[in-house]
Amino acid sequence: MRRLTALVVGVGALGGELARLLGLLGAGRVIVIDGDRVEASNLPRSCWFFSNREAIGEPKVAVLAREARSRFPETDWLPIEQEIADVGFGRIAEAPILFSCVDSDLARLEIAYIATRLNIPVADGGLAAPNYSAGRFSWFAGRQAACFGCMLRPAKRRELLESWDATVRPCGGAGEAGGFSSTPIMAGLVAAVQLELGLRQLGSETGASGESYSVNVELYPNLSFTRFEIPLSRECPFHGESSLQTARSPGLRSTVQQLLDSAQATTLVLDWPICTSAECLRCGRRWRPMQRLARLRRRGCCPACGGQRILEREVARAIPAHSPLSSEPLSALQLPADHLFTVAKTP
């Protein structure tokens, strides 16, 4: 365990409990990724790390890392206050396993894309309503096995892939409606199963080349575990042969053209679409967000009036050599540091 680097995405009730278990087991390094801040509703559900009301408003990962270091000082805790899609793939590739504890289809699909690109297995967990008395653990074994995208219906997968944006919703429906909260109990149970099976699969002979499967857990009215296999979907675009290649950045101050020249490539294929021109429908202001499309739709606002009704005038999904955008520095496109870029080469 001292040699293990584990990556935990989403540090709510489930992610916090999983991080605690990794600390108890003595993991060498734990990277925690979450772009949200502590809210009052987190306190009763994530009482191990978010028990202090003074933490409200602070980044979740900063609070978790601070508390974890005091309790598990032999583990190296690295907090990253970002959404998973904004983290450089070079940083993610450090971990041999990714623990997904997110609560939206979009985030899970982003994780599926990253994991198949890097061929990293994913141990995914989630809690479900009512009163979070049920949950699910899923093992996605790597590029050659099924991923979360394979589980989606074609229409849903197409909707997400077309815009990389969807309404964020809990994986099991609406939240708790008051009364007794079993969230900490359910989070502890699902996280324990998620970690135990994930680590055992990682250490098995099949490892990332095995089959993908899910385990449903229900506490009420009867305790039950149900397992089912997840078949690889031939319609899921994350699998199969690809002519795309990976290139490291020569530095974020370098331009797209310099990256392409260094990789002897003709096109930079963006992992996530970037909005390069937008217009505020409230005040008419036009500007260049140069921001990941899904992030702009979820958190963007007009720099002039703060309005959130934004018209996306131009969106880039790829940047060919010698196009106007190829002269932009990689940093101007808000591409992450330590990234493994996807490029296409012409024979």
Cα 347 to Cα 344: distance, rounded to the nearest angstrom: 10
CATH topology of domain 5-230: Rossmann fold (3.40.50)
Token representation of residue 274: 């970037």
**Residue whose C-alpha is closest to residue 194's, from 115, 104, 123:** 123
Cα 183 to Cα 132: distance, rounded to the nearest angstrom: 6
**Residue whose C-alpha is closest to residue 79's, from 13, 24, 169, 15:** 15
Cα 112 to Cα 147: distance, rounded to the nearest angstrom: 6
Is the peptide bond preceding residue 59 cis, with omega within 30 degrees of 0?
no
Q: Tell me the whole-structure pTM to 2 decimals.
A: 0.88
Asked whether the predicted pLDDT for residue 269 surpasses 50, the reply is: yes
Residues 20-49 pLDDT 10s: 999 999 999 999 999 999 988 777 777 778
Contact 183, 132 (CB under 8 A): yes
The predicted pLDDT at position 130 comes to 53
Residues 230-264 pLDDT 10s: 999 988 989 876 778 899 888 878 999 999 999 99
The predicted pLDDT at position 45 comes to 75
Contact 232, 145 (CB under 8 A): yes
The predicted pLDDT at position 129 comes to 60
Give the domain ranges of the chain: 5-230, 245-344
